[in-house]
Structure 1
Amino acid sequence: MLQWLRRYRRELLAGDIGAGIVVAMMLIPQGMAYALVAGLPPVVGLYAGILPPILYALFGSSMTQSVGPMVIISLMTATALAPLAAAGSGLYGVLAAQLALLSGVVLLVCGLLRLGFVANFFSRPVMSGFTIGAALVIAQGQIEPLVGADLPAVHLPSLTLGLGSLALLLLARQYLAPLLVRLGMGAGAADTGARLAPMVVVVGATILVPLLGLHEAGVAVTGDVPSGLPGLNLALSHGHWRALLQPALLIGFMIFLISMSAAQTLALKRQEKVNSNYELIGVGVANIGSALTGALPVTGSISRSAVNFAAGAQTPLASVISAVLLALALVAPTGWLTLMPLPALAATIIVAVLGMFDLSTLRTAWRYDRGDALALVATAAGVLVLGVEAGVVIGVMLSMGTLIWRASRPHIAVLGRIAGTEHFRNIERYAAETVPEILMLRIDSNLFFGNVDAVNARIEEELQARPAVRHLVLVMSAVNSIDTTALFALKELNPALKLRGIALHLAEVKGPVLDRLKQSELLGELTGRLYLSAVMASDELSRTTRAASLCPQI
């Protein structure tokens, strides 16, 4: 906690101040837009950018993470609250803060219990599928505010302003950074400048509203934005705890995954380490802070964190500076925020989610592992067809299901000896020599209750194909654990093989596994031997086999 502050040096201050200013400018239109996605008044998105990043700076582990509203979490918030209250109502705002509180408490408790390892159980293809599905849902939801009405009946001034803003943002996304580089700006500064294009476009569109009388012409604007800082209080609806618990768990899970993804990406660039348990505590406390200011669930933003890093942020002080600047913007007169046109904000949201629509993971997974590719597509389809919460559940189930499926069907290789060496390899991949009386099987997985039947079936299949086998050697170099069910399976296999005249041997058993086997009766009952290496097993059993074959002739 605050280790970065104790080690702070004066030369870091310029980078933190510059990054803080840039992110604050980015957060004003972004926060307001993401609040609209969540079905909340735009000012709530600004509230979510004040206290949460300050609290994360106290407890989080990333030096350049930018915590605040994020479009996917906003969409999940809207999905969770839609059946419970009307968007924009007083109850809706109370439930949004209550959802942030529940999510924050769940994250904080998980951090204190050191459950950060759960991030490893959500595969990258499934996460990508969820992101693609959410991006499509968000973009679809912004069509109406972009054009000013339902298609095909559109409001021409709104459509013109919305499509114009969208075109400018797309052009800036593609060409602005190279243009700034050609004009003499450094690559890093040019990239940061290009990322501020939404702020410039929204400010420009806001200026056009009074100049051209667009508000009087029917263009929707944000409306009154109350000035002043949010009060610290906790309004709750006690009748909705149970209804909010499940979505709070799902949203908390996604908050952690998104935050960890952003933090780890930036940590790699800075050659730093991110502590997953501190990250849980950091985003947990940030969400509790968001609830206290009447805001919505927050997380680390991948795009905003990248801007923070590119703008020169060195420590969490950059996020604290951004929060202070946002607070000052609310203390100052907020009349100009009132005239922000919703079509321009919708354009910024659409362009932001376009960056989430990345098919590279799908292409790679399709070439490398069709199962992962199908899981990606199924998760995206689940979000589109069944909704965001169902999509998260489908993603988690597919991740765990894929893990269980693969663990229950371990790879087992028949080993042979490479001529003239002491190396044993899979006979399906190498021209390796085998002895008819000896079957050597390498089990490339831990042995547990979920795969012992598959292992026994494979052993029987290989024995049926090799009737001359008198010695079965299980090479355990890839086995890190054997559970009780698997131990009983080995104990039952041992006498069953003996009745068929086959001895069971173990080779290359790892130390921790051997220590546990010594606590059982298996080693004492083994019909064969325990060998230090596959080479020793092969040499000794080959000599035994040759001697046995010569006995009838002597």
Structure 2
Amino acid sequence: MTLSTYLPILTWGQAYNRSAFSNDLVAALIVTIMLIPQSLAYALLAGLPPEAGLYASIAPIILYAIFGTSRALAVGPVAVVSLMTAAALSNIVEQGTMGYAVAALSLAALSGVILLAMGLFRLGFVANFLSHPVIAGFITASGIIIAASQLKHILGIDAHGHNLLELVISIIQHLPEVNWITAIIGFVATAFLFWVRKGLKPLLQSLGFGAGLTGVLVKTGPVFVVVATTLAVWLFNLNDVGVKIVGDVPQSLPPLTLPSFSPALLSQLLLPAFLISIIGFVESISVAQTLAAKKRQRIDPDQELIGLGAANIGASLTGGFPVTGGFSRSVVNFDAGAETPAAGAFTAVGLAIAALALTPLIYFLPKATLAATIIVAVLSLVDFSILKRSWGYSKADFAAVLATILATLALGVEVGVSAGVGLSILLHLYKSSKPHIAEVGQVPGTEHYRNILRHDVKTDPNVVTLRVDESLYFANARYLEDKIQTRVAGDKAIRHVILQCSAINEIDLSALESLEAINERLREMDVKLHLSEVKGPVMDRLQKQHFLSDLTGNVYLSQFEAARSVAAS
């Protein structure tokens, strides 16, 4: 591998020109405006000071620009990972303490090391163990929990809980303490942000605004809410009547920080860090591949792991918390015309300027506004249609999705994502443990063989041909044994069994032993076992064992040849 494999910046940097620079600069400006309130809001969701959101959006973006392969992915705090951060840390350290901030740094560092190691050892395939329906169910449930967790800021009350039931009970118990001015700000901000998403674009177009300007104004809707509510609190001194505000935010660049190296703390954070790494990678790679496909670009999943790992390590060294590629900001970055990862670096510069110069302006920013920003962002992730689609397509997938949603809502995000991982693996094992095995016959006038239950085909009463539509391994080997035993034992006329292996890509040792057992049982019944259409790599491994020499029948290049040969015998 060349150096550019691990440093993609060397590839796109060589072709960088003035046109790409201007497009990246415009995209960076738009994304920076969007990211300022969003970063503050996600820090709030993670249980950290608002400036941590800005810090987590500077160094990580620059590091991803150097090591990542996506031209449009925007890295930083995202809703689900921020919620998982809060869920992991609140069980270990009290929120608001110095220990909590250090634990957040340690969680980011651990996540970075895990991602980096997975990338260096080419383990990107691990994310494939999470099925898309299960991920959709987890994100839907997480979106509901996130929205519910922000209601306390909307209402100006104290409420806590690690799952939906605890949150709802806590909110109901504290309803008498509602600060109505805060509630008005929160509900108006939420309603306006929802309207911006749906109603602002048609209004601006009807007033004659161009498509480009309309798009920019719609994407910067949260900034209008931030400015308006901040001015309202400042003008009317609403913080004196109980409206909670952001308050002092340090005017500084991200500080140099170090995570804790305490074995006790790191051992407690190891599982949450692994889950955050997997979920963050799945979300990030999904967005990156979707956007890359639109421009026929290529994403390297293993290099993406390295890029995200470097970003998280950078966050741990600069006062941040775990980060990943965000859907909304990446789409905005792409739509705004970003051509290279340099757009991310320019965004980091914009956020650094904001951290230095603009933080005094958000002193009076109400937390209810940040909560409204989070609620509107995460409710777009809630998708109950996955239940309907999975029910109509696969009852097993439906059960996995429903179980993931219920586990997340009832027991919290850590249990939910753990259940999702476990269910994805169990679902795969369940489906592959009972592979589709079709009895096939010859389509008249052709050399093709198809399922006897679906097509009008010719069969020989002395011959049974079974097509196994799955690789054979320890979980399904006995299932094949039982299928063949049942089929042959019930038909005394059978003299030949042909296994059509066209769909078999792998036969592990357990499956090989099952094939040996099948061969011996059929020998005792005076029935010969034959194989057809065995793939080269599978054949190479079979030839290293004595199975082929003990085979009662033969191995044929095609199913047509096998059927013709045994019929003539």
TM-score bin (small chain): over 0.9
- Does residue 105 (structure 1) correspond to residue 126 (structure 2)? The answer is no
Residue type matched to 1:287 in 2?
A: N
Is the 2:253–2:356 Cα contact (8 Å) retained in structure 1?
A: yes
Residue type matched to 2:192 in 1?
A: L
Match of 2:199 in 1: 175
Q: Please show how residues 247-396 of structure 1 align to structure 2 within 5 Å.
A: 247-332=272-357, 334-396=359-421
Residue 334 of structure 1 deviates from its aligned partner by 2.4
Other structure's SS at 2:440 match:
strand
Residue 184 of structure 1 deviates from its aligned partner by 3.8
The superposition leaves residues 118-172 of structure 1 with CA deviations (integer Å, 9 ceiling, x where unpaired) of 1211110010011011101101111111011232542111111111111111111
- Does residue 397 (structure 1) correspond to residue 422 (structure 2)? The answer is yes
Residue 180 of structure 1 deviates from its aligned partner by 2.7
Distance in 2 (CA, whole Å) between partners of 1:189 and 1:111 is: 40
Distance in 2 (CA, whole Å) between partners of 1:231 and 1:318 is: 23
TM-score, normalising length: structure 2: 0.93
Distance in 2 (CA, whole Å) between partners of 1:504 and 1:386 is: 52
Residue 359 of structure 1 deviates from its aligned partner by 2.6
Residue type matched to 1:345 in 2?
A: L
Determine which of 24, 27, 32 is the counterpart of 1:16: 24
Residue type matched to 1:27 in 2?
A: L
Determine which of 56, 70, 90 is the counterpart of 2:64: 56
Residue type matched to 1:24 in 2?
A: T
Residue type matched to 1:214 in 2?
A: L
- Does residue 43 (structure 1) correspond to residue 55 (structure 2)? The answer is no
Residue 213 of structure 1 deviates from its aligned partner by 2.3
Q: Please show how residues 450-529 of structure 1 align to structure 2 within 5 Å.
A: 450-529=475-554
Distance 1:333 1:543, change over 3 A: closer
The superposition leaves residues 257-314 of structure 1 with CA deviations (integer Å, 9 ceiling, x where unpaired) of 1211121111111211111111111111111111111111111101110011111111
Unaligned runs of 5+ in 1: 545-554
Residue 248 of structure 1 deviates from its aligned partner by 1.2
- Does residue 439 (structure 1) correspond to residue 464 (structure 2)? The answer is yes
Distance in 2 (CA, whole Å) between partners of 1:429 and 1:333 is: 69
Is the 1:23–1:308 Cα contact (8 Å) retained in structure 2?
A: yes
Match of 2:230 in 1: 206
The superposition leaves residues 65-96 of structure 1 with CA deviations (integer Å, 9 ceiling, x where unpaired) of 11111111110111111022221111111111
Match of 2:433 in 1: 408
Distance in 2 (CA, whole Å) between partners of 1:382 and 1:194 is: 36
The superposition leaves residues 347-405 of structure 1 with CA deviations (integer Å, 9 ceiling, x where unpaired) of 11110011111233333222111211221111111111111111111000011001111
- Does residue 78 (structure 1) correspond to residue 81 (structure 2)? The answer is no
Other structure's SS at 2:368 match:
helix
Determine which of 175, 181, 184 is the counterpart of 1:157: 181
Identity of aligned residues (%): 45
- Does residue 28 (structure 1) correspond to residue 36 (structure 2)? The answer is yes
Match of 2:156 in 1: 148
**Structure 1 stretches (4+) deviating beyond 6 angstroms?**
none
Is the 1:189–1:311 Cα contact (8 Å) retained in structure 2?
A: no
Distance 1:397 1:333, change over 3 A: closer
Is the 1:26–1:199 Cα contact (8 Å) retained in structure 2?
A: yes
Is the 2:440–2:465 Cα contact (8 Å) retained in structure 1?
A: yes
Match of 2:4 in 1: none
Residue 532 of structure 1 deviates from its aligned partner by 1.6
Residue 449 of structure 1 deviates from its aligned partner by 1.6
Distance in 2 (CA, whole Å) between partners of 1:134 and 1:538 is: 55
Other structure's SS at 2:128 match:
helix
Match of 2:171 in 1: none
Distance 1:5 1:88, change over 3 A: same
Distance in 2 (CA, whole Å) between partners of 1:176 and 1:360 is: 26
Distance in 1 (CA, whole Å) between partners of 2:352 and 2:43 is: 17
Residue type matched to 1:409 in 2?
A: K
Is the 1:192–1:310 Cα contact (8 Å) retained in structure 2?
A: no
Match of 1:226 in 2: 250
Residue type matched to 1:355 in 2?
A: S
Distance in 1 (CA, whole Å) between partners of 2:51 and 2:231 is: 19
Distance in 2 (CA, whole Å) between partners of 1:107 and 1:77 is: 16
Between structure 1 and structure 2, the one with the greater Rg is 1
Is the 2:463–2:495 Cα contact (8 Å) retained in structure 1?
A: yes
Other structure's SS at 2:457 match:
coil
Distance in 1 (CA, whole Å) between partners of 2:74 and 2:114 is: 21
Unaligned runs of 5+ in 2: 1-6, 158-173
Residue 237 of structure 1 deviates from its aligned partner by 5.8
Other structure's SS at 1:312 match:
coil
The size of the alignment, in residue pairs, is 544
Is the 1:446–1:482 Cα contact (8 Å) retained in structure 2?
A: yes
Is the 1:192–1:307 Cα contact (8 Å) retained in structure 2?
A: no
Residue type matched to 1:181 in 2?
A: Q
After superposing the two structures, state which structure 1 stretch, 189-198 or 405-414, moved more.
189-198
Distance 1:186 1:267, change over 3 A: farther
Other structure's SS at 1:220 match:
coil
Is the 2:437–2:467 Cα contact (8 Å) retained in structure 1?
A: yes
Residue 472 of structure 1 deviates from its aligned partner by 0.8
TM-score, normalising length: structure 1: 0.96
